[in-house]
Amino acid sequence: MASRTDVPEETRTRDFIRQIVAEDLRAGKHEEVVTRFPPEPNGFLHIGHAKSILLNFGIAEEFGGRCNLRFDDTNPVTEDVRYVDAIVEDVRWLVGGIGAGPLFASDYFERMYALAEFLIREGQAYVDSQSEREIRENRGTVMEPGRLSRFAERAPEESLELFRRMRAGEFPDGAHVLRARIDMASKNMLLRDPLLYRIRHAHHHRTGEEWCIYPMYDFAHTVEDAIEGITHSLCTLEFDVNRPLYDWVAERWVEHVRSEGGEPTRPRQIEFARLQLEYTVMSKRKLLTLVSEGRVAGWDDPRMPTLAGLRRRGVTPQAIRTFSEMIGVTKANTRIDVGKLEYAIRDDLNQRAPRLMGVMDPLKVVITNYAEGESETFEAPVWPHDVPKEGSRPLPFTGTLWIDRDDFREDPPEGFHRLVPGGEVRLRYAYVIRCDEVVRGDDGEVTELRCSYLPETRGGANPEGRRVKGTIHWVSATHALPLEMRLYDRLFSESDPEAEGADFREGLNPESLVVVPEALVEPAVAALDPGLHVQLERVGYFFTDPVDSRPMRPVLNRTVTLRDTWAAREDAAGGGAPPSREEKRQAREREKERERERGGGARQEPERLPELQKRREVYEREMQLEPHEAEVLTRDAASADLFEAGVRAGATPQLLANWIVHELPRELGERDVTTLPFGGPEMAELAALIEDGTVSSTGGRQVLGEMVKGGGRPEEIVERLDLRQVSDQDALEKLVADALAANPGKVEEYRSGRTGLLGFFVGQVMRASGGSANPQVVKEMLDERLGAPR
């Protein structure tokens, strides 16, 4: 049994449902918290279901209770055992188990039937022999009360006999139904003598032909909760109108059990906002349409929002859990920016995906001053310095290489720092090269670059203060592995594909899948088994397809790009691009707002949108912000005001924008910027602490989380949480020396050319310092003490 004191304060207050559960335990209403996740086995689970799964299983775990996976298998026409198996697999994948399950509504059919007979005998239910059309017409409308069925006054004895004959299979589908006797004049139309049972002559995936009458959802669902002792029946807001019927059935169950001398449990229904995600459809019917019409390759197509599709794309359970925590649990339905999900995926994969290199559109590079037939091997790290893991891989280098065609421009735009005729660029982990000659084919297309390399720049060395601005990725032509890359993107190009009056299929993104049949990657990729993650540097996060990959011929599914490219893509469309349905809807809403203002409604700044557009232009032109960051900052005045107040307080614009755009939303969840208990000066102070190395980026996130919760000065929070980084070289000297002394073999390997071991040594010092050492200072000290590789 979990008491209030057993549960951490953070758990009890995280959202309104957890507050209810904690209060119920404190008041002694329950000895144990019992929740359930009750899917119908008529389709595959999607990202919307994930929110409910994590909420129900999470509350049970946090409060020391249990959660049931229970299938509401009360409609044999649409259900299938393959959906049962798929759902079990999805739930196990997402939360690591299936709790006390799987359980099935069909396990309780006899007890549901017993309750139905009890209701008939008590005069609270009757068999109705109207046609389906008559029942529908007599239900009335929201403005008019319903009309009693001509069978509503049927004697209980007659209804009971008919109901038993219905069970015996004497009548065809639709001949009779069992209805509750409640109130045909109720304003809640669900209480107008709702159906409890109907006839369905169909094979059931578990009970076979044993039953030919099946309970309706609202009746069955409540009884299942009561039988299992569910204390908190959590469902989405659209079931709010069903709650009076849920309570009616629950009360009837109590009466029934007590009439037999039992002590019943009384479940409670609580509603929360369902997940509505931009650029996505959640309707099972619409998802089935996509599958049946061949618009996707199946339920596990990596573009689908199904858990099977997300899993095959390479999304992890941890990323979905992080996303769920970001958006929180609320009572108001809102559409969630899909960028939040993509952010959570990137944040997760950054820590788990080793770094390798590959090119999608190869362009040959011949290094003319490199000895023909010669080759060498670099030891390249597989983890960046900010990921506390060690490891390296051999990276072969020859005189003929492949680079990505996008990394070369004959007529480069302003700010292009990659390879140009006569220009220099660094090959990642290798040498600086200079482009000396451009070779074209008969059609005039560039087919080859002839370059020279600078031997003294090996492995990142910069002799005589040489500074090269650009670094590009590459693969050896001799050793490159050809494979298929599948570049997955958002399935819909419309942010609201289910907008009223629209055919959702019109919003499908024609570029949601681009297949690169012969991409080239470094040989280390061949060692990846199906179902593993990798980051192809400067390209994106990928996942080796668990279905189509073969030994030495993996298929890479792009999980997510390295950065959000959608805002920049929309900017590139320019003013001539036709407006989308969403843009038209927003324009209509703005016009309505102006009409309200002209009519004396709540006053708002009529020139706000043009003003924000001007501010966006200033951010891009004068402050050199990325277009997508400027766009996010000027979506509303509050975000723009926060940013500008921080800049006025002395923050570097680019760093401040990065934290407001990418980090702050994660801490805010569903809250608005206007609710923050701090302002721009505090954000500027946090940015300064990160920029000068006082606190790491990880520590900065902790500080920001504390600021969002309760305000406060960042420097004081850093001191309170002991997050200050150690940057004093004298203080770090012993830790660096100890790390080198404890690993003489690895020191020798580094000096022999395994430069990827630098990350190992940084990790050793970071662990020894308890994470408080400044990794950049540590790296510089190690560089100096290890010296240049031989």
The residues assigned a catalytic role are: 40, 274, 284
Handedness of CA 468, 469, 471, 472 (dihedral sign): negative
- How far apart (Å, rounded) are the C-alpha atoms in residues 649 and 644? 9
Residue with tokens 């469309």: 573
Structure tokens at 763: 């990790």
Q: What's the longest Cα–Cα distance across the chain? A: 103
- How far apart (Å, rounded) are the C-alpha atoms in residues 497 and 51? 21
- How far apart (Å, rounded) are the C-alpha atoms in residues 270 and 16? 10
Cross-strand pairs, 520:
359, 482
Backbone phi, then psi, for 397, in 5-degree steps? -130, 135
3-state secondary structure of 490: coil
- How far apart (Å, rounded) are the C-alpha atoms in residues 666 and 327? 8
Pairing label, strands 34-37, 66-71: parallel
End-to-end CA distance of the chain: 64
Contacts with 646 (C-beta within 8 Å, 6 or more apart), sequence order: 656, 660, 680, 681, 683, 684, 687
Strands (DSSP E) contained in 82-191 are 103-104, 125-128, 177-180
Half-sphere exposure of 160 (CA within 13 A, CB side): 13
Structure tokens at 527: 């060692």
Nearest one of 648, 621, 508, 486 to 560, comparing CA atoms: 486
Q: Would you call 690 exposed, middle or buried from its count of C-beta atoms within 10 A (0-12, 13-18, 19+)? A: buried
In the chain, % helix, strand, coil (3-state, to 5) comes to: 45, 20, 40
- How far apart (Å, rounded) are the C-alpha atoms in residues 574 and 565? 15
3-state secondary structure of 559: strand
Angle between helices 16-26 and 47-62 (to 10 degrees): 30
Q: Distance from CA of residue 685 to its chain's centroid?
A: 31
Structure tokens at 560: 């997510």
Handedness of CA 312, 316, 321, 326 (dihedral sign): negative
